[in-house]
Structure 1
Amino acid sequence: MSADAAPISASAPPSSTLREFEIVNRLIPREQIADEAAVSRRAFLQGTGLLLGFALTGASTESVFAAPASRVVENEVTGTFAPNGFIRINPTGAVTLVIPMAEMGQGVYTSLSMLLAEELEVRLDQIQVQHAPANDALYANSILQSQITGLSSSIRAFWTPLRQAGAVGRNLLIAAAANRWDVDPATCHAKNGVVFNASGSKHLSYGELAEAAAELPLPPAADVKLKDPKDFTLIGTPAKRVDSSIKVDGRVRYGIDARVPGMKVAAIAISPVLGGKAKTVDEDAALAVKGVRQVVNIDEAVAVVADHMGAAKKGLEAAAITWDDGPNAKVSNADIVKQLEEESKKAGAVARNDGDARKALAEAAQRLDAIYQVPFLAHVTMEPMNCTVHLQKDRCDIWVGTQAPTRTQSMVAELTGLPKDAIKIHNHLIGGGFGRRLEADGTLLAVKIAKHVDGPVKVIWSREEDIQHDMYRPYNLDRLSAGLDASGKPVAWTHRIAGSSVMARYAPPLFKDGYDFVVVESAAELPYAMPNIHVDYVRVESPAVQTAFWRGVGATRNVFVVESFMDELAHAAKQDPVAYRKALLGHNPRALAVLSLAAEKAGWGSPLLARHGRGVSMQFAFGSYMSQVAEVEVADDGSLKVKRIVCAVDCGMYVNPDTIEAQIQGGTLFGLTAALYGSITFKDGRVEQSNFHDYLPMRIDEVPVVETHLIKNAEAPGGIGEAPTSIVSPAVTNAIFAATGKRVRSLPIDTDLLKS
């Protein structure tokens, strides 16, 4: 554990200096701190108090253990069970949750702390959180089977294990107090980190009880009961985020803020064409710039290493690099689309085949066909790609914000030849991930550069390098056909998806039977009743483009296609789009409920002015049901104004409604920005966009009102962070059709086509 993993607490004093916040806390004596890289996990775990470990994959209290912290050495505890996470209660009563999920603005530090606090019976501001070190054995996400933050899985993976750990801790602390008072534990209760006897006349804090509780045997599973949801006092209520204060007053550190003694800074230029390399570099001119220390040429990139970023950028410009573009020098967007068009005519790997869609289509009273396309998209996180590396003979320290620390660790080990345990990932808060920081390409590039640098080096990508060398959301071309009976009801549905498979590269074992689950997400499993359905996938890869997960993953492509085509069916059947969908959801009450709620709150059916329209979309993704209604205005010149978006959500039992509302707003605007403007295009092998002037973000005056309406129930929790990103585009394009009668089948929206 590094200094960068210092606890974050809602009650951290605003007056703390940055240095104090980074490396000083109640758990690590100051004398144990030599420098920022020297704070070891041993130093954190040694001492006194109660340490709780819990399995992220288990569902029984047998997977939870307790032991005095003094018994802990590195990742081992006396006994045979190896935990996946730790909770420490020290003699001051402070509770520290070492948490493997990366915080990138989605609020997991708060929501996961709430799960623990609810069952442990402590206030949220009594919990501190720390980044976990890279270790799949201890910290693997049970859904993703690795220490990865993605697929909106944090709450789903931790819902039971964190509550179990809290419940076991509460039981042990109550038992310790009961032993001291010589009473039945059943007569005692805990609240706000204090145990009280039956009358309330006696009380002991968790800090006073921690060591005694650690000596007690694990209670039988039958004796440890999780709270009934009706008894929750914290879960399901609005809660202040535990990381807000440090972000507001500037104490927070992201990866780009990492500082290491003796560190140099590198600016980089990467080959503008994938597969190219540097042809000429004027090293003498670069070295003549004051502050420049060296030039590193690693073929696919050139780095100028300097005392500070200003010198590094000037040196990079002076280097006047020319490039050998390599085999992809002539690739254009037209080439990529043509390849997709041709390949999509071929039969693909079957993801779903119910009934006989071909026969039903041939016999249908009416047939509809459509081709939909979605473009490459960049992630454009607010924090550009960066990584600080100190590569030494026997170890490699890496300061970075990553969604996948163990994957990064393994890839660096392979690159350097060092053992995995010699690769130390000092993870940071992330200034935007969106799937970009699931990839280790930036870290590997930094390590390649660090091989040539004596001492630590921070490698920072410019915004231009970030956009032009991203790993992009795949371009998809989809072919759909549907057959309607005489009443307009769908009797056949076929959907062929053609595009890149990220999973085939990222996790090859999950690419099975010719497709992966991500690429067909929200296409193979429709919420609607379809008697005959066939969905297949054709994998098409361009050697000139690297693709990756993008917030909302497969759903961002497939929901747009499915919900737009569903609107086409409703129009062909001469039926209202909401009523048409409702008729297909009788078997799916949760989906029907969110659709009905969104329509009601949006005033569906009420009159609108000319060239105003409402559009609806619905989805089931990431374990959550969601429906959106968008209201738009389209001017005669084709300019578009999205005025209002109403979202209804059923994500099962929810933890923090404030976080959900924030995620709905942020995800909706993220997806809306892509629908309006997002498109990465290629010419002569190069990405044509380079910064926010030609890869546009939404401006504040374009932002619509976004309303969120939650349905509360007792279903298992679903994911939220990525869901609104995928649902917004069809709601908007369907609204455009309602306003203009013009159907949008490709993104981003071409407003020239909307002119009256």
Structure 2
Amino acid sequence: MKNELNVHTRSISRRSFLITAGTVGIAVSYGNLASQAFAATIATETAGNYRPNAWVTIDHDGTVTIISPASEMGQGVMTTLPLLIADEMDAEWSKVKVVQSPSDAEKYGNPGFYGIQLTGGSETVRGYYEPLRLVGAQTRMILLHSAAEILDKPVTELNTEPGMVVHTPTQTRISYGEISRLGKISDPLPQISKTDLKQPEQWHYIGKQDLPRIDVPSKVDGSAIYGIDVQLPDMLYGAVIRPPVQGETPATIDDSEAKNVVGITRIVRLPYGVGIIGETIEATIRAKEMLSIEWTTGSRIRNYSSASLIDEYRKAGSDLSQTGVNAVKKGEAAQAIASSDILIEADYLSDHVYHATMEPMNATALVSDDEVEVWAPTQGPTFTQGFAAQTAGTTTDKVKVHTTMLGGGFGRRAERDFVDDAVSLAKEVKGRPVKVVWSREDDVRHGKYRPLVAQHVRVGLTSSGAISGWQHRVAADSIFARTLPPVFEDAGGLDDVVTEGADFNYDMPTHEVEYLRQDNGLDIGYWRAVGCGYTKFAVECVIDEIAATRNIDPAQQRLELLAGEPRARKVIENTVKMSDWSRPREGRALGLAYSDSFGAHCAAVAEVSVNRENGQIRVHKVWTSVDPGVAIQPQNIEAQMTGAITHGISHALYEQINVVNGEVQEGNFDTYRVIRMSEIPEVEVSILGDPTQKPSGMGEVGLPPIGPAIANAFARLTDGARLRHYPFLPERVLEALNG
């Protein structure tokens, strides 16, 4: 319809765009994965083995080596993606070896992320699912043609079993290892299409077997190499001191004591701080403590105090005379609300939170006259190439990125600062690698936090309780304006990762979402579930308020609004049944929330109690149902759901970064509170997969609904007291109780 606009999308209108990294650009094309992947890159005669494409190599002993293009940060992607190829090519999993891809967006880029190598946003499996299955299917077809030549049989009489090509009439078998030794790759390559992909009933691994994760054994025996574990010959160590206020620089540096520390090689002034290079990490720590630095004081971030700014954001969101950029516009919501019989209006606030990865930021770099190498636990190898090239003063083709295991990512490891540290210091000692490891205090105080956000929601109801209009205003700084300026500009100033999740599949006649950018300068970034982590808080709590106003069950309210969404209804109905929703609990209550984020349908019920004397909320149990489409690895989905729910409870109850006059007040886990093992509830997960549907993202799906489920349980437990500010600190709980 002419009056309907929905611009909630991460795709852009043109087929290619320029990702800027300062003055260096990386030109990448969208959608070229298949043509690159299907090219036979190494001939049998020259390689000594059989490589039908850039993804698969088959050795003479039958070992099948498959490239994994994404960053493994605990989400199991190093197993999930290769098994897509393995299933379609009929590889024998016990003979599959998985290798991390090099930094090469032309071959290994993700179509879900503009063709670059970037892991995040729950886009990995969604982006690679079909292309990698096609890679596997064409690999199988190439094997069949090679076997036909070896056996001198028509290819139409051949089929495959795991690790074998079978001549159906005679049952003659030839292994993939034998084909590797004897066969040739046909030229031109046989062509395939989506119709050549297996049907679900033909799958061996997808949704059929919970394969042991590739990354786990090395993590158990200690052989896994994270960024922090990298060791290179003749390696030096580095540390960087950053200013207490973002954007300031060293005015004076007194290094008279620090440079005399045994083992210190060099102390370097950087554009953003002071770098220290030494023979041991202990020496750099000692020198760091002995440096005396006076910083400039001109940064506008000195005006940044989060406690007062959140109130300014709240006022901006509730001031309807201030207009924003539409993320969703379906009908005329403001007009519909103005003529409604009942108005529900509320503000929902969210504080900054820190990523709290188990492994602090780190990277290792080696700079020579003609090449730069970076070893890093990075979510974005393509970005890292650009960052390193700019810092080293070279071009991206001269940069190699080695992606290690990641000790947690959550969006933080898509940033550049830890890469800049290593490359900047390695430039000073060309020919020797430098490893920089941040202290936990550096990591906490210099993060790229989830944005400070105020949301103003207005809903109009008719006298019968039907929703006539929904208006949702999101006031926050922009992530894209800093990290992806071309995308931000192409969208006309809309930051759709900040507003994502405010667009939903609930059926209502008018629906408007506006983004009101607040530009106060503090670097903010991607944090697990990004916008959905707080927009679903507002949406799902307001849905409960509507149900309370109508005096109907919150589950019934959602089911009414999802009448045309059978998959959504199913997860809600199943979760309600799992939790025994209607049964009263002494001193406890249940809360429900639903999310349609990342292509999945997910419902969660939380069982909650509250200490009315000290304001402490306790989550005792969580029930959740998820429909991920095809459930590629059900056991891993359960693990991802449990982890995301735990993370979601932590940020909803405890996690908070406070900035006062530009300085972060927290410094370690003694002041930045995260959930403790003793506080983690029992979590029961039900997976309602559908093999006929494309897969959803999974790494973040469990987080968005758990916070509102807790808030809604609190409201039911306290006769309607509402929690509207993340996190639910004891003082905020007591304030709500005393209303």
Deviations 1:122-150 (Å, cap 9, x if unpaired)? Answer: 22232222222222222221011111111
**Is 1:182 the counterpart of 2:152 in the alignment?**
yes
Aligned equivalent of 1:633 = 609
Aligned equivalent of 2:197 = 226
C-alpha separation between the residues in 2 aligned to 1:401 and 1:750?
33
- Of 500, 523, 546, the residue aligned with 1:521 is 500
Deviations 1:331-381 (Å, cap 9, x if unpaired)? Answer: 322342244234332111122222222222122121111111011111111
**Is 1:127 the counterpart of 2:101 in the alignment?**
no
Local SS of the residue matching 1:467: helix
Deviations 1:386-422 (Å, cap 9, x if unpaired)? Answer: 1111122222111111111111211222232212111
Aligned equivalent of 1:492 = 469
Aligned equivalent of 1:32 = none
Aligned equivalent of 1:245 = 217
1:712-723 to 2 correspondence within 5 Å?
712-713=689-690, 714-723=692-701
C-alpha separation between the residues in 2 aligned to 1:311 and 1:428?
25
C-alpha separation between the residues in 2 aligned to 1:584 and 1:456?
58
C-alpha separation between the residues in 2 aligned to 1:71 and 1:440?
42
Local SS of the residue matching 1:381: coil
Given that 2:314 and 2:347 are in contact with CA atoms closer than 8 Å, whether structure 1 keeps it comes out as no
Q: 1:200 to 1:319 in 2, by over 3 A?
A: farther
**Is 1:203 the counterpart of 2:173 in the alignment?**
yes
Q: 1:737 to 1:170 in 2, by over 3 A?
A: same
Shift of 1:329: 3.0
- Of 557, 568, 571, the residue aligned with 1:594 is 571
Given that 1:390 and 1:397 are in contact with CA atoms closer than 8 Å, whether structure 2 keeps it comes out as yes
Aligned equivalent of 2:723 = 744
1:286-435 to 2 correspondence within 5 Å?
286-327=258-299, 328-344=301-317, 345=319, 346-435=322-411
1:467-506 to 2 correspondence within 5 Å?
467-506=444-483
Given that 2:593 and 2:605 are in contact with CA atoms closer than 8 Å, whether structure 1 keeps it comes out as yes
Aligned equivalent of 2:513 = 535
Q: 1:63 to 1:403 in 2, by over 3 A?
A: closer
Shift of 1:255: 0.9
Shift of 1:72: 8.0
Local SS of the residue matching 1:459: strand
C-alpha separation between the residues in 1 aligned to 2:436 and 2:683?
38
Shift of 1:277: 2.0
C-alpha separation between the residues in 1 aligned to 2:34 and 2:310?
51
C-alpha separation between the residues in 1 aligned to 2:74 and 2:46?
32
1:47-86 to 2 correspondence within 5 Å?
57=31, 64-66=38-40, 68-69=42-43, 85-86=54-55
Given that 2:629 and 2:696 are in contact with CA atoms closer than 8 Å, whether structure 1 keeps it comes out as yes
C-alpha separation between the residues in 2 aligned to 1:626 and 1:521?
16
Shift of 1:482: 0.8
Report the RMSD for the aligned CA atoms in angstroms. 2.3
Of the structure 1 ranges 722-731 and 328-337, higher mean CA displacement relative to structure 2 is found in: 328-337
Residue type matched to 2:148 in 1? A
Q: 1:62 to 1:277 in 2, by over 3 A?
A: closer
Residue type matched to 1:521 in 2? E
- Of 674, 677, 688, the residue aligned with 1:711 is 688
1:682-701 to 2 correspondence within 5 Å?
682-701=659-678
Q: Which aligned segments of 4 or more residues in structure 1 are displaced greater than 4 angstroms?
A: 58-63, 70-73
Aligned equivalent of 1:285 = 257
Given that 2:528 and 2:700 are in contact with CA atoms closer than 8 Å, whether structure 1 keeps it comes out as yes
User: How much identity, in percent, do the aligned residues show?
Assistant: 33
Shift of 1:674: 0.7
Shift of 1:68: 4.5
C-alpha separation between the residues in 2 aligned to 1:729 and 1:420?
42
1:80-95 to 2 correspondence within 5 Å?
85-95=54-64
Given that 1:62 and 1:221 are in contact with CA atoms closer than 8 Å, whether structure 2 keeps it comes out as no
C-alpha separation between the residues in 2 aligned to 1:276 and 1:362?
48
Given that 1:287 and 1:295 are in contact with CA atoms closer than 8 Å, whether structure 2 keeps it comes out as yes
Shift of 1:268: 2.2
Shift of 1:622: 1.1
Shift of 1:187: 3.4
C-alpha separation between the residues in 2 aligned to 1:400 and 1:62?
25
Deviations 1:689-738 (Å, cap 9, x if unpaired)? Answer: 11111111211110011111111211111111111122211111111111
Aligned equivalent of 1:453 = 429
Shift of 1:469: 0.3
**Is 1:655 the counterpart of 2:629 in the alignment?**
no
Q: 1:72 to 1:532 in 2, by over 3 A?
A: farther
Shift of 1:307: 1.4
C-alpha separation between the residues in 1 aligned to 2:381 and 2:36?
28
Deviations 1:417-471 (Å, cap 9, x if unpaired)? Answer: 2121111111111111100011112111322222223422111110000010011
**Is 1:728 the counterpart of 2:706 in the alignment?**
yes
Residue type matched to 2:247 in 1? G
Q: 1:343 to 1:446 in 2, by over 3 A?
A: farther
The number of aligned residues is 691
Local SS of the residue matching 1:326: coil
Local SS of the residue matching 2:631: coil
Shift of 1:231: 1.8
Given that 1:280 and 1:322 are in contact with CA atoms closer than 8 Å, whether structure 2 keeps it comes out as yes
Aligned equivalent of 2:7 = none
Q: 1:398 to 1:375 in 2, by over 3 A?
A: same
Of the structure 1 ranges 282-291 and 373-382, higher mean CA displacement relative to structure 2 is found in: 282-291
Shift of 1:218: 2.4
- Of 597, 600, 603, the residue aligned with 1:621 is 597
Q: 1:324 to 1:72 in 2, by over 3 A?
A: farther
Q: 1:446 to 1:325 in 2, by over 3 A?
A: farther
Deviations 1:459-488 (Å, cap 9, x if unpaired)? Answer: 111000001001111111111111111222
Aligned equivalent of 1:557 = 534
Q: Which TM-score applies when normalising by structure 2?
A: 0.89
Residue type matched to 2:392 in 1? T
**Is 1:275 the counterpart of 2:247 in the alignment?**
yes
Q: Which TM-score applies when normalising by structure 1?
A: 0.87
Local SS of the residue matching 1:519: helix
Local SS of the residue matching 1:221: coil
Shift of 1:226: 1.4
Given that 2:37 and 2:107 are in contact with CA atoms closer than 8 Å, whether structure 1 keeps it comes out as no
Shift of 1:71: 7.7
Q: Which runs of 5+ in 1 are unaligned?
A: 1-54
**Is 1:138 the counterpart of 2:107 in the alignment?**
yes
Q: 1:735 to 1:695 in 2, by over 3 A?
A: same
Deviations 1:518-553 (Å, cap 9, x if unpaired)? Answer: 222111x2121111222111111212x101111101
Residue type matched to 1:285 in 2? E
Residue type matched to 1:152 in 2? S
